Protein backbone atom coordinates (compact mmCIF):
# COMPACT_ATOMS: atom_id res chain seq x y z
CA UNK A 1 0.00 0.00 0.00
CA UNK A 2 1.67 3.22 -1.11
CA UNK A 3 0.77 6.70 -0.02
CA UNK A 4 1.98 10.26 0.19
CA UNK A 5 5.33 10.89 1.86
CA UNK A 6 4.71 11.15 5.57
CA UNK A 7 1.61 9.05 5.76
CA UNK A 8 1.61 6.14 8.12
CA UNK A 9 0.50 2.88 6.51
CA UNK A 10 -2.65 1.33 7.87
CA UNK A 11 -2.18 -2.36 8.48
CA UNK A 12 -5.33 -4.29 7.72
CA UNK A 13 -4.35 -7.66 9.12
CA UNK A 14 -4.45 -9.56 5.86
CA UNK A 15 -1.66 -10.92 3.75
CA UNK A 16 0.61 -7.98 3.12
CA UNK A 17 3.19 -8.31 0.39
CA UNK A 18 5.30 -5.50 1.75
CA UNK A 19 5.85 -3.63 4.97
CA UNK A 20 6.08 0.07 4.31
CA UNK A 21 7.25 2.31 7.11
CA UNK A 22 5.16 5.13 8.40
CA UNK A 23 6.68 8.21 6.95
CA UNK A 24 8.60 6.87 4.61
CA UNK A 25 9.28 4.98 1.42
CA UNK A 26 9.13 8.00 -0.84
CA UNK A 27 10.43 10.41 1.76
CA UNK A 28 13.95 10.64 0.33
CA UNK A 29 14.64 10.27 -3.34
CA UNK A 30 17.80 12.17 -4.18
CA UNK A 31 21.24 10.95 -3.12
CA UNK A 32 22.65 13.49 -0.65
CA UNK A 33 25.85 15.37 -1.36
CA UNK A 34 27.49 14.32 1.91
CA UNK A 35 29.05 10.95 2.67
CA UNK A 36 27.02 7.96 1.54
CA UNK A 37 24.70 6.34 4.07
CA UNK A 38 26.20 2.94 4.99
CA UNK A 39 24.40 -0.30 4.17
CA UNK A 40 23.53 -0.77 7.85
CA UNK A 41 23.53 1.46 10.91
CA UNK A 42 23.38 0.50 14.60
CA UNK A 43 20.06 0.57 16.45
CA UNK A 44 20.49 0.57 20.22
CA UNK A 45 17.53 -0.85 22.13
CA UNK A 46 17.35 0.15 25.80
CA UNK A 47 14.98 -1.59 28.20
CA UNK A 48 13.69 0.98 30.69
CA UNK A 49 10.29 -0.71 30.89
CA UNK A 50 10.62 -1.92 34.46
CA UNK A 51 9.15 -5.26 33.37
CA UNK A 52 10.88 -8.57 34.03
CA UNK A 53 9.74 -10.59 31.01
CA UNK A 54 12.03 -11.63 28.20
CA UNK A 55 11.89 -9.13 25.32
CA UNK A 56 11.88 -10.30 21.72
CA UNK A 57 12.77 -8.00 18.81
CA UNK A 58 11.99 -8.38 15.09
CA UNK A 59 13.18 -6.34 12.11
CA UNK A 60 10.83 -6.97 9.18
CA UNK A 61 10.43 -5.12 5.93
CA UNK A 62 11.22 -4.53 2.29
CA UNK A 63 14.81 -4.57 1.07
CA UNK A 64 14.95 -1.35 -0.91
CA UNK A 65 17.68 -2.46 -3.31
CA UNK A 66 15.67 -5.43 -4.56
CA UNK A 67 12.07 -4.90 -3.47
CA UNK A 68 12.10 -8.28 -1.74
CA UNK A 69 10.28 -8.77 1.55
CA UNK A 70 11.95 -10.48 4.48
CA UNK A 71 13.65 -9.97 7.81
CA UNK A 72 17.05 -8.93 9.12
CA UNK A 73 19.01 -10.66 11.86
CA UNK A 74 20.91 -8.86 14.62
CA UNK A 75 23.85 -8.22 12.27
CA UNK A 76 21.59 -6.57 9.69
CA UNK A 77 21.82 -9.47 7.24
CA UNK A 78 18.76 -9.77 5.05
CA UNK A 79 16.80 -13.03 4.78
CA UNK A 80 14.02 -13.27 2.19
CA UNK A 81 10.76 -14.84 3.24
CA UNK A 82 10.11 -18.24 1.69
CA UNK A 83 6.96 -18.83 -0.30
CA UNK A 84 3.74 -18.72 1.70
CA UNK A 85 0.75 -21.02 1.56
CA UNK A 86 -3.01 -21.23 1.75
CA UNK A 87 -3.77 -21.56 4.60
CA UNK A 88 -0.87 -19.38 5.74
CA UNK A 89 2.25 -21.26 6.85
CA UNK A 90 4.44 -20.37 9.86
CA UNK A 91 7.15 -17.86 9.00
CA UNK A 92 10.78 -18.53 9.96
CA UNK A 93 11.61 -17.52 13.52
CA UNK A 94 13.03 -14.02 13.10
CA UNK A 95 13.13 -13.20 16.83
CA UNK A 96 16.20 -11.47 18.25
CA UNK A 97 16.62 -11.67 22.05
CA UNK A 98 16.14 -8.21 23.45
CA UNK A 99 17.90 -6.52 26.38
CA UNK A 100 17.20 -7.41 30.01
CA UNK A 101 15.60 -4.78 32.26
CA UNK A 102 17.95 -1.83 32.71
CA UNK A 103 20.24 -2.99 29.91
CA UNK A 104 20.82 -2.14 26.26
CA UNK A 105 21.49 -4.20 23.17
CA UNK A 106 22.56 -3.05 19.72
CA UNK A 107 21.49 -4.56 16.45
CA UNK A 108 22.13 -3.31 12.93
CA UNK A 109 19.33 -2.21 10.64
CA UNK A 110 19.75 -2.41 6.85
CA UNK A 111 18.31 -0.26 4.07
CA UNK A 112 14.73 -1.27 4.67
CA UNK A 113 11.32 0.20 4.68
CA UNK A 114 9.95 -1.74 7.58
CA UNK A 115 9.08 -2.27 11.19
CA UNK A 116 10.92 -3.11 14.38
CA UNK A 117 8.52 -5.13 16.50
CA UNK A 118 9.11 -5.91 20.17
CA UNK A 119 7.13 -8.17 22.50
CA UNK A 120 7.17 -8.98 26.20
CA UNK A 121 7.14 -12.54 27.54
CA UNK A 122 6.17 -14.33 24.32
CA UNK A 123 7.36 -14.47 20.76
CA UNK A 124 5.00 -13.05 18.16
CA UNK A 125 3.32 -15.32 15.65
CA UNK A 126 3.98 -14.45 12.01
CA UNK A 127 2.66 -16.42 9.06
CA UNK A 128 3.16 -16.35 5.31
CA UNK A 129 0.27 -16.44 2.88
CA UNK A 130 0.56 -16.66 -0.88
CA UNK A 131 0.53 -12.84 -0.99
CA UNK A 132 3.25 -12.35 1.60
CA UNK A 133 3.61 -11.76 5.32
CA UNK A 134 0.48 -11.69 7.49
CA UNK A 135 0.80 -8.91 10.06
CA UNK A 136 -0.60 -9.22 13.59
CA UNK A 137 -4.23 -8.07 13.55
CA UNK A 138 -5.32 -7.86 17.19
CA UNK A 139 -8.68 -6.36 16.26
CA UNK A 140 -9.47 -9.95 15.25
CA UNK A 141 -10.40 -11.94 18.40
CA UNK A 142 -8.86 -15.10 16.92
CA UNK A 143 -5.49 -13.53 16.11
CA UNK A 144 -2.75 -15.56 17.85
CA UNK A 145 -1.05 -12.36 19.02
CA UNK A 146 -4.13 -10.93 20.70
CA UNK A 147 -3.01 -11.74 24.27
CA UNK A 148 0.64 -10.79 23.75
CA UNK A 149 1.92 -7.41 24.91
CA UNK A 150 3.78 -5.92 21.94
CA UNK A 151 4.28 -2.87 19.80
CA UNK A 152 6.36 -1.66 16.86
CA UNK A 153 8.26 1.26 15.42
CA UNK A 154 8.54 2.07 11.73
CA UNK A 155 11.46 3.25 9.68
CA UNK A 156 13.00 3.76 6.30
CA UNK A 157 16.77 3.78 5.86
CA UNK A 158 17.89 4.62 2.35
CA UNK A 159 20.57 6.57 0.50
CA UNK A 160 18.98 9.81 1.66
CA UNK A 161 19.07 8.96 5.35
CA UNK A 162 16.87 7.61 8.14
CA UNK A 163 13.21 8.29 8.91
CA UNK A 164 12.14 6.67 12.19
CA UNK A 165 8.84 7.11 13.99
CA UNK A 166 6.74 5.94 16.86
CA UNK A 167 3.18 5.10 15.89
CA UNK A 168 -0.26 4.76 17.39
CA UNK A 169 -2.18 4.63 14.10
CA UNK A 170 -3.28 1.03 14.65
CA UNK A 171 -3.16 0.88 18.44
CA UNK A 172 -1.76 2.43 21.61
CA UNK A 173 0.23 -0.15 23.54
CA UNK A 174 3.63 -0.83 25.14
CA UNK A 175 5.31 2.58 25.46
CA UNK A 176 8.54 3.44 23.65
CA UNK A 177 10.44 6.34 22.15
CA UNK A 178 12.78 6.64 19.18
CA UNK A 179 15.86 8.69 18.42
CA UNK A 180 18.66 9.36 15.98
CA UNK A 181 22.26 10.44 16.53
CA UNK A 182 23.59 12.57 13.75
CA UNK A 183 27.08 12.48 12.30
CA UNK A 184 28.00 15.60 14.32
CA UNK A 185 27.05 13.85 17.57
CA UNK A 186 23.81 15.75 18.24
CA UNK A 187 20.64 13.75 18.88
CA UNK A 188 16.91 14.04 18.31
CA UNK A 189 14.21 11.94 19.96
CA UNK A 190 10.43 11.71 20.13
CA UNK A 191 7.60 9.44 21.28
CA UNK A 192 8.24 9.55 25.02
CA UNK A 193 5.21 9.76 27.28
CA UNK A 194 4.90 12.20 30.15
CA UNK A 195 5.37 10.74 33.65
CA UNK A 196 2.16 8.83 34.32
CA UNK A 197 1.22 9.10 30.66
CA UNK A 198 0.63 5.42 30.00
CA UNK A 199 -2.01 5.04 32.68
CA UNK A 200 -3.19 8.57 31.98
CA UNK A 201 -4.08 7.61 28.43
CA UNK A 202 -6.16 4.60 29.45
CA UNK A 203 -7.86 6.58 32.22
CA UNK A 204 -8.78 9.26 29.68
CA UNK A 205 -10.50 6.70 27.46
CA UNK A 206 -12.27 5.11 30.41
CA UNK A 207 -13.58 8.52 31.45
CA UNK A 208 -14.74 9.54 27.99
CA UNK A 209 -18.43 9.10 27.30
CA UNK A 210 -19.70 7.77 23.99
CA UNK A 211 -18.19 4.30 24.02
CA UNK A 212 -14.49 5.19 23.78
CA UNK A 213 -13.58 2.83 26.64
CA UNK A 214 -14.63 -0.01 24.34
CA UNK A 215 -11.35 0.42 22.47
CA UNK A 216 -9.37 -1.01 25.40
CA UNK A 217 -8.36 -4.67 25.22
CA UNK A 218 -7.42 -6.42 28.45
CA UNK A 219 -5.97 -9.83 29.23
CA UNK A 220 -7.78 -12.27 31.51
CA UNK A 221 -5.53 -11.19 34.42
CA UNK A 222 -6.77 -7.62 34.00
CA UNK A 223 -3.66 -6.28 32.23
CA UNK A 224 -4.51 -3.51 29.76
CA UNK A 225 -2.79 -4.74 26.61
CA UNK A 226 -3.68 -1.92 24.25
CA UNK A 227 -6.36 0.38 22.93
CA UNK A 228 -7.42 -0.17 19.35
CA UNK A 229 -7.48 2.78 17.00
CA UNK A 230 -10.97 4.22 16.50
CA UNK A 231 -10.89 2.92 12.92
CA UNK A 232 -10.65 -0.64 14.21
CA UNK A 233 -13.10 0.22 16.95
CA UNK A 234 -15.71 1.19 14.36
CA UNK A 235 -14.91 -1.80 12.16
CA UNK A 236 -15.29 -4.28 15.04
CA UNK A 237 -18.27 -2.62 16.73
CA UNK A 238 -16.25 -1.59 19.79
CA UNK A 239 -17.01 2.05 18.97
CA UNK A 240 -20.37 3.23 17.59
CA UNK A 241 -20.32 3.79 13.83
CA UNK A 242 -22.26 7.03 14.38
CA UNK A 243 -19.61 8.51 16.66
CA UNK A 244 -18.60 11.30 14.22
CA UNK A 245 -21.96 11.89 12.53
CA UNK A 246 -22.91 15.03 14.45
CA UNK A 247 -19.64 16.79 13.63
CA UNK A 248 -19.68 15.74 9.98
CA UNK A 249 -23.27 16.99 9.66
CA UNK A 250 -22.33 20.36 11.13
CA UNK A 251 -19.37 20.68 8.77
CA UNK A 252 -21.59 19.88 5.81
CA UNK A 253 -24.14 22.50 6.87
CA UNK A 254 -21.48 25.17 7.37
CA UNK A 255 -19.85 24.74 3.99
CA UNK A 256 -23.11 24.65 2.11
CA UNK A 257 -23.24 28.42 2.65
CA UNK A 258 -19.57 29.30 3.07
CA UNK A 259 -16.22 28.28 1.58
CA UNK A 260 -13.51 26.03 2.99
CA UNK A 261 -10.08 27.08 1.74
CA UNK A 262 -7.35 24.44 1.65
CA UNK A 263 -3.69 25.37 1.17
CA UNK A 264 -2.16 21.90 1.13
CA UNK A 265 1.52 22.74 0.57
CA UNK A 266 3.36 24.84 3.13
CA UNK A 267 6.02 25.71 0.56
CA UNK A 268 3.44 26.68 -2.09
CA UNK A 269 1.17 29.21 -0.34
CA UNK A 270 -0.34 30.33 -3.64
CA UNK A 271 -1.77 26.87 -4.37
CA UNK A 272 -5.27 26.97 -2.91
CA UNK A 273 -8.45 24.98 -3.39
CA UNK A 274 -11.97 26.03 -2.45
CA UNK A 275 -14.59 23.65 -1.05
CA UNK A 276 -18.36 24.09 -1.14
CA UNK A 277 -21.04 21.53 -0.28
CA UNK A 278 -23.91 20.67 -2.58
CA UNK A 279 -26.14 17.94 -1.23
CA UNK A 280 -23.95 15.07 -0.04
CA UNK A 281 -20.91 16.22 -2.02
CA UNK A 282 -18.15 18.73 -1.25
CA UNK A 283 -16.70 20.03 -4.51
CA UNK A 284 -13.27 21.64 -4.64
CA UNK A 285 -12.39 24.19 -7.28
CA UNK A 286 -9.10 25.79 -8.22
CA UNK A 287 -8.42 29.51 -8.62
CA UNK A 288 -9.97 29.44 -12.08
CA UNK A 289 -13.22 28.04 -10.73
CA UNK A 290 -12.81 24.57 -12.28
CA UNK A 291 -13.83 21.57 -10.15
CA UNK A 292 -10.68 19.55 -9.45
CA UNK A 293 -12.08 16.87 -7.11
CA UNK A 294 -15.15 16.01 -5.05
CA UNK A 295 -15.79 14.16 -1.79
CA UNK A 296 -18.86 12.27 -0.70
CA UNK A 297 -20.01 13.03 2.84
CA UNK A 298 -17.70 10.88 5.00
CA UNK A 299 -18.61 8.42 7.71
CA UNK A 300 -16.55 7.66 10.82
CA UNK A 301 -14.55 4.92 9.13
CA UNK A 302 -13.56 7.30 6.32
CA UNK A 303 -12.53 9.94 8.87
CA UNK A 304 -10.57 7.70 11.22
CA UNK A 305 -8.93 5.69 8.44
CA UNK A 306 -8.37 8.61 6.04
CA UNK A 307 -9.63 6.27 3.34
CA UNK A 308 -12.79 5.29 1.47
CA UNK A 309 -14.65 8.61 1.04
CA UNK A 310 -11.50 10.46 2.09
CA UNK A 311 -9.12 8.43 -0.05
CA UNK A 312 -5.81 10.14 -0.68
CA UNK A 313 -4.03 8.99 -3.82
CA UNK A 314 -0.36 9.85 -4.21
CA UNK A 315 -1.04 12.72 -6.59
CA UNK A 316 -0.75 16.50 -6.44
CA UNK A 317 -4.42 17.46 -6.08
CA UNK A 318 -6.90 15.05 -4.51
CA UNK A 319 -4.42 13.44 -2.15
CA UNK A 320 -3.15 16.70 -0.61
CA UNK A 321 -6.70 18.04 -0.25
CA UNK A 322 -7.91 14.78 1.29
CA UNK A 323 -5.11 14.57 3.83
CA UNK A 324 -5.89 18.12 4.93
CA UNK A 325 -9.60 17.29 5.25
CA UNK A 326 -8.79 14.12 7.16
CA UNK A 327 -6.64 16.02 9.66
CA UNK A 328 -9.33 18.67 10.09
CA UNK A 329 -12.03 16.09 10.79
CA UNK A 330 -9.93 14.11 13.27
CA UNK A 331 -8.80 17.27 15.07
CA UNK A 332 -12.28 18.87 14.81
CA UNK A 333 -10.98 22.17 13.46
CA UNK A 334 -13.08 22.48 10.30
CA UNK A 335 -15.83 24.47 12.05
CA UNK A 336 -13.53 26.88 13.85
CA UNK A 337 -11.12 27.58 10.98
CA UNK A 338 -12.26 27.86 7.34
CA UNK A 339 -8.60 28.03 6.28
CA UNK A 340 -6.95 24.65 6.50
CA UNK A 341 -4.62 23.24 7.66
CA UNK A 342 -4.25 24.91 11.05
CA UNK A 343 -0.90 26.47 11.83
CA UNK A 344 -0.88 25.44 15.50
CA UNK A 345 -2.32 22.79 17.77
CA UNK A 346 -4.02 25.04 20.32
CA UNK A 347 -7.47 24.52 18.81
CA UNK A 348 -7.21 20.78 18.20
CA UNK A 349 -9.73 18.32 19.70
CA UNK A 350 -11.80 21.08 21.34
CA UNK A 351 -15.19 20.00 20.00
CA UNK A 352 -17.14 17.49 22.10
CA UNK A 353 -17.27 15.32 18.95
CA UNK A 354 -13.70 14.57 17.98
CA UNK A 355 -11.13 11.79 17.77
CA UNK A 356 -10.81 11.38 21.53
CA UNK A 357 -8.26 8.59 21.06
CA UNK A 358 -5.93 10.97 19.19
CA UNK A 359 -6.64 13.71 21.73
CA UNK A 360 -5.62 11.43 24.60
CA UNK A 361 -2.48 10.23 22.83
CA UNK A 362 -1.20 13.73 22.10
CA UNK A 363 -2.10 14.95 25.59
CA UNK A 364 0.16 12.34 27.17
CA UNK A 365 3.21 12.86 24.92
CA UNK A 366 6.11 14.78 26.47
CA UNK A 367 6.61 16.81 23.27
CA UNK A 368 2.99 16.66 22.12
CA UNK A 369 3.97 14.74 18.97
CA UNK A 370 2.31 11.49 17.88
CA UNK A 371 1.16 9.45 14.90
CA UNK A 372 -2.35 8.92 16.24
CA UNK A 373 -4.04 8.79 12.83
CA UNK A 374 -2.80 8.32 9.31
CA UNK A 375 -2.25 12.00 8.42
CA UNK A 376 -1.11 13.27 11.80
CA UNK A 377 1.90 14.67 9.96
CA UNK A 378 -0.24 17.46 8.46
CA UNK A 379 1.29 20.52 10.08
CA UNK A 380 4.23 18.47 11.42
CA UNK A 381 2.52 17.11 14.53
CA UNK A 382 3.87 13.57 14.04
CA UNK A 383 6.42 11.70 16.19
CA UNK A 384 9.20 11.38 13.63
CA UNK A 385 12.98 11.78 13.66
CA UNK A 386 15.04 12.14 10.50
CA UNK A 387 18.65 12.67 9.54
CA UNK A 388 20.34 12.56 6.17
CA UNK A 389 23.54 11.00 7.53
CA UNK A 390 22.68 9.10 10.72
CA UNK A 391 25.42 7.51 12.79
CA UNK A 392 23.09 5.59 15.12
CA UNK A 393 19.40 5.09 15.90
CA UNK A 394 17.74 4.27 19.19
CA UNK A 395 14.57 2.63 20.46
CA UNK A 396 13.86 2.93 24.18
CA UNK A 397 11.30 0.69 25.86
CA UNK A 398 9.74 3.06 28.35
CA UNK A 399 8.04 2.67 31.71
CA UNK A 400 4.43 1.51 32.08
CA UNK A 401 3.39 4.23 34.50
How far is Cα 174 from Cα 18, in angstroms, rounded to an integer? 24
CB-based contacts of 339, cutoff 8 Å, min separation 6: 261, 263
Catalytic residue among 154, 299, 387, 398: 154
**Catalytic residue at 154?**
yes
Query: Half-sphere exposure (CA, 13 Å, Cβ side) for 301?
Result: 9
DSSP code per residue over 172-232: E-S-EEEEEEETTS-EEEE-PBPTTHHHHHHHHHHT-TTTGGGGEEE-TTS-EEEEE-HHH
Residue 201's CB is within 10 A of a number of other CB atoms, namely: 24
How far is Cα 4 from Cα 315, in angstroms, rounded to an integer? 8
Instruction: Please count the residues of the chain.
Output: 401
How far is Cα 118 from Cα 325, in angstroms, rounded to an integer? 33
Classify burial at 279, counting beta carbons within 10 Å of its beta carbon; exposed 0-12, middle 13-18, buried 19 or more: exposed
**Coil, helix or strand for 112?**
strand
Q: What is the torsional sign of CA 7, 11, 14, 16?
A: positive
* Phi, psi for 199 (deg, rounded to 5): -70, -30
Determine contact, residues 110/40, Cβ cutoff 8 Å: yes
How far is Cα 301 from Cα 229, in angstroms, rounded to an integer? 11
**Catalytic residue at 387?**
no
Classify burial at 280, counting beta carbons within 10 Å of its beta carbon; exposed 0-12, middle 13-18, buried 19 or more: exposed
Cα-based angle 307, 309, 312 (whole degrees, multiple of 5): 50
Catalytic residue among 53, 159, 170, 376: 170
The residues carrying an active-site annotation are 154, 170
Amino acid sequence: MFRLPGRHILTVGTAVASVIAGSLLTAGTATPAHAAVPDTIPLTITNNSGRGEQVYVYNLGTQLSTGRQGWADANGTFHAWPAGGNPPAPAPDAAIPGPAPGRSATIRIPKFSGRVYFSYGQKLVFKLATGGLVQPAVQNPTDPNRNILFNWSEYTLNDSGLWLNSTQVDMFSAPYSVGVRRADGSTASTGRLKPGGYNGFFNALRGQSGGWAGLIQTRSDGTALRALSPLYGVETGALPASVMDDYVNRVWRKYSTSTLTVTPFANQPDVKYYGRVSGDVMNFTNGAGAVVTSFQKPDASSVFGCHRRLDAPNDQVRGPISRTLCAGFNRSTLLTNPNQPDSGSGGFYQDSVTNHYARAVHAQMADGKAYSFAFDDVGNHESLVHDGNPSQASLTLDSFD
